[in-house]
Amino acid sequence: MSSVAVIGAGAWGTALAVQAARAGNQVTLWARDPARAAAMATSRENPRLSGVRLPPDVAVTGAHPVEADATVLAVPMQFVRTTLPHLPSAPLVIGAKGLETGTLRLPLEIAAEVRPDLPAAVLTGPNFAHEIAAGLPAASVVAAVDAALRERIASTLGTASFRLYGNEDPIGAQVGGAAKNVIAIAAGAVIGVGLGENARAALITRGLAELSRLAVALGGRAETVMGLSGLGDLLLTCTGAASRNYSLGVALGRGERLADVLAARSSVTEGVATAPALVARAQASGSGADVEMPICAAVASLLSGRSTLAEAIASLLARPRRDE
């Protein structure tokens, strides 16, 4: 039996802890708040993942694990940097998606800077936490340049119901995980404002093109974008009612204020911080105007208050026609 440390006791971290135990590991789940850790250890439940009982092989703690055979980092993207120094010296799989504000770095770029001693991969794909925790069939991607590391993580965390595919293009996989959250906000706004399913399908398709352009510009591969970490994650996040980013967009489309929507939530909606960072990273990619991100730019403008929803829609509809 292997030991797995899961860092972050939100819904996603808890689901991954349950999955790691299901795969036959002894698991330690770390919660930032010691009082919350104690409550979860006693109740064997996480209020953010209702109806899911923690299995016996999951121990909950408020102290950072000091030893593990593998570490799963499942904290919000903006806390990756500050959490990395406290991790055990073990192979690392990062489950956060997005870009760091300010530095515009992807998760593995931060890990390479802060913890170059750790072999690291990303886990990404079309996965809702409550379905993973329930053991419903799902697939995801373990992306890393090192084939042995990909296989080790897949064998540690994978089961028949949680099928893990290796991918040697971590850049493309990470861009997919970041951009899909931003595009999902736009998809939700389309539905919330009443533009219809045709408009959402068109937006998702053009969003996929944006995602692909940026992935290639940063050194990733276009074919990665057509897999689970790109198209698969994009479809789920832009259509699933459980998607925080999609539901945020729906609320904005219905006229709710961004501050009010966020204040009512206990979990992070990653696309809000990622949108401006993604646009800035595209502009700084070295490919100049070739990396067009009109949907992501419209979302960033909407979230910052620089444009209204009506203006954002008008700007996209006014773009020049061209061959696909």
Give the Cβ contact number of residue 101 at 10 Å.
Answer: 14
d(CA 253, CA 278): 22
DSSP string over 274-288: HHHHHHHHHHTSSSG
Catalytic-residue membership of 180? yes
Best CA proximity match to 199, nearest among 309, 84, 52, 37: 309
CA distance linking residue 289 with residue 131, whole number of Å? 40
**Residues 232, 230, 211, 97: is their CA dihedral positive or negative?**
positive
Name the amino acid, one letter, at 145. Answer: V
Annotated active-site residue in 180, 213, 244, 281: 180
> Residues near 77 by Cβ (< 8 Å), separated by ≥ 6?
96, 97, 98, 99, 100, 107, 268, 270, 273, 274
Q: Are 201 and 195 in contact (CB under 8 A)?
A: no
Beta pairing partners, 122: 94, 143
Beta bridge partners of 58: 27
For 83, which DSSP code?
H
* SS3 state of residue 252: helix
> What's the rounded Cα separation, in Å, for the pair 233 and 309?
25
Residue whose structure tokens are 């930032």:
32
CA dist 224 to 59, 124, 311, 313, 323, Å?
A: 36, 12, 33, 29, 23
Residue (of 51, 103, 38) closest to 77 by Cα position = 103
- Which has the closest alpha carbon to 255: 317, 310, 184? 310
* Residues belonging to the active site: 180
